[in-house]
Amino acid sequence: MSKEAQVSAPRTRNRWGEGERLRGEILAAASRLLSELDGEDGLTIRGVARTAGIAPASIYQHFTDRAALVAGLTDHEFARLHTAMEAAEGRVDSGDVVGRVRAMLHASCRFAMDNPGHYRLMTANGPPRTAPGVRQAGPLVDVIDLLVAGFARCAAAGVALRVPAERAAVIAFVGAHGRVALFQNSAKHTDADSVMSFVDEFVSLVFA
Amino acid sequence: MSKEAQVSAPRTRNRWGEGERLRGEILAAASRLLSELDGEDGLTIRGVARTAGIAPASIYQHFTDRAALVAGLTDHEFARLHTAMEAAEGRVDSGDVVGRVRAMLHASCRFAMDNPGHYRLMTANGPPRTAPGVRQAGPLVDVIDLLVAGFARCAAAGVALRVPAERAAVIAFVGAHGRVALFQNSAKHTDADSVMSFVDEFVSLVFA
DNA sequence: AAAGTTACCAAACGATCGTTCACAGACTTA
DNA sequence: TAAGTCTGTGAACGATCGTTTGGTAACTTT
């Protein structure tokens, strides 16, 4: 990886009405950059512009400032995680309700382990300000709700839970999250499978 | 918080042979700075010098560069956590082996919730490079070992464990860690007590 | 008192950063 | 063809950064 990303072609402009497309390219470039230099440092306007092959000024047509960029990137990555979990769930036979929950958790772990920089970004920054008293919202809660729904389907299918579905979802997610965090801190990253089985242990723990 | 920390007195020099003292002051200042501007950004050489009331150049007598500074700060904070856990354990009657483990976990959670910036710094950066094959070392493992010892003492005292002490320690720590991470992401930080009871739930889970 | 050591700082270097502003090329409409 | 709009840039601004260099004042030794 040299210092300069690439000088390449002076970039083919987007056509009319496709100005929004650059926004996606910027987010993709930021995502790529975050993979290489993990840690929120280095995620600079100029750096993103460099890896996207555009001028720094061009970013300001889509993001008002750097904070908006990282916020947009965070949303983007949460959306990726969300769809990855849904896709994983969809690949499991719909009769296997427990397997579907496990699949979602596995997908979540794999995402976190494959994208440590993104995961850190997603968990490091607090949620958007919400009015007090109202139901907590935000992308993280959406992810957990996915699990809540999964556990609720288990209960509905006759698989007994030791705790309410909401509680089970938090336990499983928290266990997976913590185990992955421990994984990130371990020098040997070869034991990815053990993370998965650890998560399975947590899941089987909430069933009666 | 104004931009300039304080211009105050031009600082009273340390006496002979007490040059090492500045090192501690630097770490303390860095710790303070990390509390106010949490997030590893802003933890700059110049910023630390500012809050310590010294010149940026003075830092280089104790830390070769910025990386060494944050490494030193990380060690410093891990040591703080370690002693906090030991102190909490010591405050519980030594006959109450389970209570001592719980006290350590509670202390760990409180530290993490009280010092989100420090906690992030400690968990964000991987461990120091260790030769492959050898026992994993590093401050994080030392903290977990504290829990392993605590659970082992439970087993030795006749309190049956469902899993080996090492496993129990990881489960409890991972649960606590994940729950705290979730807490950090929640907008309402008023439910600190619920974190504690959640952790207790994890602990009681590993006992037969 | 002279020499040496320690503790610390002022000033500057080059680099990078976020952000703004005026402007240019491609395309559409009139 | 002329005017207007959209998509993107080049160049510069002030600020901050990490780090180095060459010192100075205080203190200890001789």
B135 has a chain A CB within 8 A of its CB: no
Domain residues for the domain of B159 are 73-208
Structural domain contains residue B7 = no
Tokens of A205: 């723990």
Q: Which residues of A touch B174 (CB under 8 A)?
A: 175, 178-179, 181-182, 198
Mark whether B171 and B141 lie in a shared domain: yes
CA–CA gap between residue B60 and residue A173 (Å, rounded): 43
pLDDT in tens, B62-116: 999 999 999 999 999 999 999 999 999 999 999 999 999 999 999 999 999 999 9
Residue partners of A4: CB distance under 8 A and separation at least 6? A50
Structural domain contains residue A87 = yes
Residues touching nucleic chain D (CB < 7 Å): A 10-11, 13-14, 16-22, 53-58, 61; B 3, 13, 15-16, 42, 44-47, 56-57, 60, 65-67
Mark whether B53 and B101 lie in a shared domain: no
Q: What is the pLDDT of residue A184?
A: 82
Total structural domains within chain B: 2
Distance set, CA B36 to CA B2, B6, B45, B115 (Å): 12, 15, 16, 10
Look at residues A6, A39, A63 and tell me which one is the last residue of a structural domain: A63
pLDDT in tens, B109-156: 999 999 999 998 998 876 665 555 666 678 888 999 999 999 999 999
Q: What is the pLDDT of residue A6?
A: 43
**Region for B133 from its dihedrals, namely left if φ exceeds 0, alpha if ψ lies in -120 to 50, beta otherwise:** left
pLDDT in tens, B159-188: 999 889 998 898 889 889 888 988 887 766
Mark whether B85 and B152 lie in a shared domain: yes
pLDDT in tens, A31-51: 999 998 867 778 999 999 999
Q: What is the pLDDT of residue B66?
A: 96
CATH number, domain of A116, equals 1.10.357.10
CATH number, domain of A20, equals 1.10.10.60
Mark whether A91 and A31 lie in a shared domain: no
Mark whether B43 and B145 lie in a shared domain: no
pLDDT in tens, A79-136: 999 999 999 999 999 999 999 999 999 999 999 999 999 998 998 876 665 555 666 6
Q: What is the pLDDT of residue B123?
A: 85
CA distance B177 to chain A (A): 5
Q: What is the pLDDT confidence band of residue B16, given thresholds at 50, 70 and 90?
A: low
Q: Which residue of B has its CA nearest to A205?
A: B205
Mark whether A137 and A162 lie in a shared domain: yes
Residue B178 and residue A177 in contact, taking contact as beta carbons nearer than 8 Å: yes
